[in-house]
Structure 1
């Protein structure tokens, strides 16, 4: 057992603040402004294709089809491209557990285990330790790109970015003054979210927020059960909707999916070992009755994802789990630090570290399929009070409010794993960092449009194939 006397002593608050100021001397806040591609920057289509080589071949064209719907959709699927760009930039050295893909649609309303609605990060496929500003830059650029998609003028796009980054900076300064346990316990529930806004929301904004909260509460296990299953001679089973939902009975034996029914049965048993004892006990009250392959997201299309239907007491007592393949983080070759021998555990560990309230069924497993390949997965409930933002329906004021929530939420997540005192000291009390990120976001939005056009040209040239769904 480790003696308390051998544990490293934390630095004083003054020393931590000085570390932030020293980082500012190495990398001034103004150094984050703008974006000029590195002269050795790889072809973005090559970067995306390298990811696709590890995915189910027949699903890759769907991924490209979704990415070509708009520059914003492209951005969502191009985390690996931006990771390469961020890795070529000077960094502060102030490390946190990164989300790794902190665009605005990866923030949403979620249910806590206590059944409270909270606002938090949702997607952790790329989570890894790294410089805090990588997440902030990806989030900031997503607001510039979303503003362009909505046809907002440049000054409005800049305001969206400013509201987001300013909220991050101010929340980090607040967290830097809090006790350590208070930082850990902090969560953005309904009451806290109201306090984060610079000014009270308009009547219309309040209506939309209330509507989103109410709708999130309808996204439950029972709703997923009703939508995704049908009554058959064998009982409730997943409804086929290929290629988006493909029951196991249809794909069994196809080596491109890697797993057979017996493997998925074993997956559930192996996954249960990653849960705490009381949650394993809870899971034992359910029996597995059906499985299907599911196509998910934009950036994740082509990774192997399964949904599992379990029943408890009777047919009105369902549990729907999602087992999603976890590949190496796009930040892996760039962020340095500790390596991970299990990518599913990497995702789960990162999520538990920076998310204020994680799914009680969150766990991981590794399975070797009929193709002989060992693949890592993480498992969670398919739906649990999730409220997804629709930025295309938001006016500038509402999108700015959403930016404030995202910026503050990201700061809270970073403060759990990093040093809020050092980061707050680096950011300072002025708006220099905010203004630098506005410049970066606009320059990177330009680069994203060029990369979007490059993928379109690759499709027209027959270099890659896209399929609309």
Structure 2
């Protein structure tokens, strides 16, 4: 994977800034406020159906059922629709490694390998090089969509967007003045969040954030181990909870099943080759004892995702890995970007570019002959100190603070792979880009609600089936 805009690194800072300012001729800052699907816009349900064609058939109705719970849940599963909408619009041409699905629930607290709690992006299934503003547009629209579900006024919705974009713009300007290594080492840790919240006089906000940090530290691999496994006559094994969690032994039968089990069990050996040597050594201390298919997320439902239970010294020394199918990024068809020999590698490489610290077991593999075709996977620990936001419990002030943190964190992610000097020069010191994104987020949230209704109509007509779980 080529690092976006790496060619500008050798240019003097003044020339890199000029590249950013000239990009306004390609796409003015104000033009980002425009969005109009028009009467000739594609069928959004057809976009979702095309994605579903490569997924586990019996899980596709679960995906639709989850997307129909609310417009925000629909939005989480509709990254492909938004990518198709953004593709034809004017863009800055200032490339970064995009998250690709930068909605607010994909920002959370995570554990670093040094066992520090940091705040970062956590989902990279759609990561791909592209214009920086696409991530900003997806993030800001998610705040409008979540705000509407909370019953916030239009003024409150727009305030969250302004706060988010202003935080992105100001943080990018800070990075433009920093040394390259200082940008690479920059982190958003919990201490930094505490300093931010100290400036807020709302004691309830500070209390809730401290509680969220404490809860994140309890969400360890041991907690997942206790929750997802049980003692059996054969030893510790994964607890069935079909169709959400289905052990491999319950899915496969006969000679064909035996062959498929061999294919799946080769995942660990092949994936280990993508790890650094010291981590391969660490992985050798564990052996695979059980596997299960797991239904995850909203947009990912139906992709093949496996829990791998591995044990070390004994049944009280576990390692839980998640092997998740990686398909082509929804952005690929709309960027003219290069093809990748392995989609799992695309995810891992993008994640390492964007995140300040990644899971020590992060790697990828290629599985031949699974469900009749070859498939790419990436592998990581199932759970390690993850704290997830709950926007439905947030009032306007707390959501604004969260928007500020997310906007600043996204700027840090983009500054690592893109050119912060060019992007900062493009954005400038005024709020012109902020105001444009406020207009866009409202317009696209309207479009998202119509697409949500279109999926509901498709279910009612029998075109697709939905299942509640």
| 1:229 is aligned to 2:233 | no
8 Å CA contact retained: 1:286, 1:311: yes
Aligned equivalent of 2:32:
32
Report if the CA contact (8 A) 1:57-1:256 is conserved. no
Q: Where does residue 43 of structure 1 map in the other structure?
A: 43
**SS at 2:10's partner residue?**
coil
CA deviation profile, 1:214-245 (whole Å, cap 9, x unmatched):
00001111000000011111011111000000
DSSP-derived class of the 2:60 partner: helix
Q: State the 1:27 CA deviation.
A: 1.2
Aligned to 1:107: 107
For 1:380, the equivalent position in structure 2 comes to 380
- Mapped to 2, the partners of 1:258 and 1:124 lie a distance apart of 32
Q: Which runs of 5+ in 1 are unaligned?
A: 1-6
* Maintained 8 Å contact 1:255/1:371: no
Aligned to 1:333, what secondary structure does the other structure show? helix
For the residues of structure 2 that align with 1:373 and 1:404, how far apart are their CA atoms?
A: 44
The alignment's TM-score, normalised by the length of structure 2, stands at 0.96
> Which residue does the alignment assign to 1:316?
316
In 2, the alpha carbon distance for the partners of 1:262 and 1:175 equals: 49
Alignment RMSD: 1.7
Instruction: Indicate the SS of the match to 1:249.
Output: helix
Identify the residue that residue 167 of structure 2 maps to in structure 1.
Answer: 167
**Structure 1 ranges of 4+ moved more than 3 A:** 194-199, 253-259
Look up the match of 1:181. 181
Matches within 5 A, 1:48-447: 48-196=48-196, 199-200=199-200, 202-253=202-253, 260-447=260-447
Q: For the Cα contact (< 8 Å) 1:196–1:408, is it kept in 2?
A: no
d(CA) in 2 for partners of 1:213, 1:98: 27
1:461 is aligned to: 461
Q: How many angstroms does 1:257 deviate by?
A: 10
Matched positions, count: 463
Deviations 1:143-188 (A, max 9, x none): 0000001000110000011111111011000111100000000010
Q: Distance in 1 between matches of 2:75 and 2:412?
A: 24
Check the 8 A contact 2:221/2:320 in 1, yes or no: yes
CA contact (8 A) 1:196 1:404 kept: no
Q: Does the CA-based 8 Å contact 2:111-2:385 persist in structure 1?
A: yes
Q: CA deviation at 1:369?
A: 2.7
State the 1:196 CA deviation. 4.9
In structure 2, the CA distance between the partners of 1:212 and 1:370, relative to structure 1 (3 Å rule), is: closer
In 2, Cα distance between equivalents of 1:283 and 1:44: 43
TM superposition shift of 1:28: 1.1
Deviation at 1:190, TM superposition (A): 1.6
- Please identify, of 34-43 and 250-259, the stretch whose mean Cα deviation from structure 2 is larger: 250-259
The CA distance in 2 between the partners of 1:145 and 1:47, in whole Å, is: 21
Q: Deviations over 1:385-420 (max 9, x none)?
A: 000000000111111111011000000000000000
The answer as to whether partners of 1:243 and 1:295 remain within 8 angstroms in 2 is yes
- Which is further off, 187-196 or 303-312? 187-196
Which residue is 1:4 aligned to?
none
Rounded Cα–Cα distance in structure 1 between residues aligned with 2:379 and 2:162: 36
Q: Secondary structure at the match of 1:465?
A: coil
Of residues 247-256 and 324-333 in structure 1, the stretch that sits farther from structure 2 once superposed is 247-256
Mapped partners of 1:17, 1:320: distance in 2: 46
**What whole-Å deviation, never above 9, does each CA across 1:56-105 have from its counterpart, x for those lacking one?**
00000000000000000000000000000010100000000000000000
Q: Residues of 2 paired with 1:9 and 1:176: CA distance?
A: 12
Provide Cα deviations, 1:331-372, integer angstroms capped at 9, x if missing partner: 010112222110000000000011000000000000013543
